[in-house]
Structure 1
Amino acid sequence: MKNTIIYILLFLTTIVSCKAQLISLDQLSQCESGNCPNYTFIKDTNNRLNKFVGIWKGTYLDGRTYEFHFAKKNDFILYGGKPRDMIIGRILIKANNGTELENTISSTNGQTHFNGFEFDKNLIKYQMYYSGNAECNDKGHVYISFPDPNNLNQMRLVFIQDMDIIASCPDGYKTVIPDAKILLLTKQ
């Protein structure tokens, strides 16, 4: 009888500790500067990432055309981190004359240099990180959201370039995604 009680307690402790190891993207969005519970997995338990999945296209004021392919990956391990559900981004960017400026459409999941992380506290903006041409500081945070939460066919994308100092880029180099500008995209 004594052994049975010990086994039951051990079993219940194992179940409770396993549940504590998983947190949702919603819970992660509420963490304050390292004040997050200890976790092993980050899951999209409310399927918030699904609305971003698909092919999105848009044109910037200078005539560049953008095609973003967003795919949801479950339990994806990036750079040796913990498994998490995230969006992986692929892009095709063309100049107004049709010249390809960036094309990662056929890149493998770990080589797109465009990966998701977390939602803001209000669960409206999803933060990603892009590092296409890191040598020229063409890297930074990308925020995707919907201007109208009732219209999931139009997305807003904003790229905020990292503030690193780079001395080896050609004069006049521009990031492939416009820095600190809104890019409106339409779902295809």
Structure 2
Amino acid sequence: MKNIFLLSIILLSFSCKAQQTYSLDTDYETVSNYSYLKDINNELLPFIGTWKATFDNKEITIKVDKVDHHYTKLGTNIYYKDVLFIRYSIKSSQGTIIKSTMNLTVQNSNIESIAIFPNQVISFIYSGGDCQYGWGDVDLKLVDATHVKWRYQPEGVILTNLNCPNGADTTIYLPKTPDLVFTKQ
């Protein structure tokens, strides 16, 4: 009985591979499946929090949250990584909420970080609103401890009755401007 137990432990130890951990800026295509791209140097930390800006007579609030060890699958690559998610609220000059994703859970937010660059820029993918309308790229660049610059570049979308039903909201609410400065709250 003792030999069976010992043999089971040995077999189990050979079948379990330790998860490989890499720096967050490692190319996900170069790591083995189920690896972990970790924010080892705390590069995401300065972006976390609530930020506000005014644009086109509207108050824009973004809330940036970090999720550690987030499951990610791109094509055949499966891995875990530390990511940032952005939720937002846009209010009119009278304080009326025009659009908000603040009520979504963090991981159901539709703006997720995809890359970090050495010059303190984080690139996000925005999956868009209804029918993925307005999907595109968002970049945040750290200016200093209390300011980030925002850049949103929507991609073109062809809407038809087949891919987007009548009555869908096809308004792009995010500010489409380079270098909009947000202040940390």
Q: TM-score, normalising length from structure 2?
A: 0.74
Task: Describe the shift of the 1:112–1:64 C-alpha distance in structure 2 as closer, same or farther (beyond 3 A).
Answer: same
Provide the residue aligned with 1:91 in structure 2.
88
Q: Does 1:22 align with 2:21?
A: yes
Structure 1 residues not aligned, in runs of 5+: 1-10
Paired residues of 2:44 and 2:66 also in contact (CA < 8 A): yes
Provide the residue aligned with 1:111 in structure 2.
108
Partner of 1:27, secondary structure, is: coil
Write the mapping of 1:7-156 to structure 2, written as runs, cut at 5 A.
18=18, 21-28=20-27, 34=29, 36-40=30-34, 41-60=36-55, 62-77=56-71, 82-120=79-117, 122-135=118-131, 137-147=133-143, 151-156=144-149
Task: Describe the shift of the 1:78–1:46 C-alpha distance in structure 2 as closer, same or farther (beyond 3 A).
Answer: same
Structure 2 residues not aligned, in runs of 5+: 1-12
Q: Does 1:164 align with 2:157?
A: yes
Instruction: State how far apart, in whole Å, the 1-side matches of 2:47 and 2:79 are.
Output: 22
Paired residues of 1:136 and 1:166 also in contact (CA < 8 A): no
Q: Alignment length, in residue pairs?
A: 166
Q: Which runs of 4+ in 1 moved over 6 A?
A: none
Task: Describe the shift of the 1:107–1:78 C-alpha distance in structure 2 as closer, same or farther (beyond 3 A).
Answer: farther
Identity %: 21
Structure 1 residue 145 displacement after superposition:
0.9
Instruction: State how far apart, in whole Å, the 2-side matches of 1:50 and 1:39 are.
Output: 26
Structure 1 residue 96 displacement after superposition:
2.8
Partner of 1:23, secondary structure, is: strand
RMSD: 3.1
Structure 1 residue 179 displacement after superposition:
2.4
Task: Describe the shift of the 1:79–1:27 C-alpha distance in structure 2 as closer, same or farther (beyond 3 A).
Answer: closer
Q: Deviations over 1:17-46 (max 9, x none)?
A: 736x32211223xx7xx4x23352211111
Instruction: State how far apart, in whole Å, the 2-side matches of 1:144 and 1:162 are.
Output: 18
Paired residues of 1:64 and 1:94 also in contact (CA < 8 A): yes
Instruction: State how far apart, in whole Å, the 2-side matches of 1:136 and 1:27 are.
Output: 29
Structure 1 residue 79 displacement after superposition:
6.8
Q: For residue 25 of structure 2, what is the amino acid of its counterpart?
A: D
Instruction: State how far apart, in whole Å, the 2-side matches of 1:63 and 1:180 are.
Output: 14
Instruction: State how far apart, in whole Å, the 1-side matches of 2:90 and 2:135 are.
Output: 15
Q: Deviations over 1:112-166 (max 9, x none)?
A: 112112113x35210112234142622211100123xxx2101001111122223
Q: TM-score, normalising length from structure 1?
A: 0.73
Q: Deviations over 1:46-97 (max 9, x none)?
A: 110000011100001x111111111111012257953211112111111233
Q: For residue 50 of structure 1, what is the amino acid of its counterpart?
A: L
Q: For residue 160 of structure 1, what is the amino acid of its counterpart?
A: Q
Greater helix share, structure number: 1
Greater strand share, structure number: 2
